[in-house]
Amino acid sequence: MKITRTTVRVRYAETDSMRVAYHGSYLPWMEVGRTELIRELGYSYKRLESEGIFMPVIRIEVDYLRSVHYDDTVHIDAWIASQEGIRTTIAYTCYRDSESVARGFTTHAFTDRQNKPVRPPKEFIACLKKGI
């Protein structure tokens, strides 16, 4: 299984008045992890979209385990949890130091420019399956 680790630093704008990271901040961090994972598997969102294929998020689930604060360093591990037909699920664990602070997953469909379901390119699926 291919796991990609990316790192972000919690920015002030991502926190509340107590300098705790707002729960919605985790989603863009996971997106960074997902984008890098796909790139490391040999494809990219940019390439996929240039081929007229999009990967909208159709489900998100996040478990918040511990708070992170302004200026903390957060590591995001991302990996392909499953690839079935026109759906892909990517899993994530976020860490501060070695402590797990959140975990979750996103499920994606594949659509064309008109938002109609389509089969992804075979080469893209082969790249995803390399990561499982």
Report residue 31 as tokens.
Answer: 């997106």
Burial (Cβ within 10 Å: 0-12, 13-18, ≥19) of residue 90 = buried
Active-site annotation, residues: 16
In order of 48, 120, 130, the CA distances from 43 in angstroms are 7, 12, 11
Query: Do 113 and 35 form a contact (C-beta atoms < 8 A)?
Result: no
42 vs 8: CA distance, rounded Å: 22
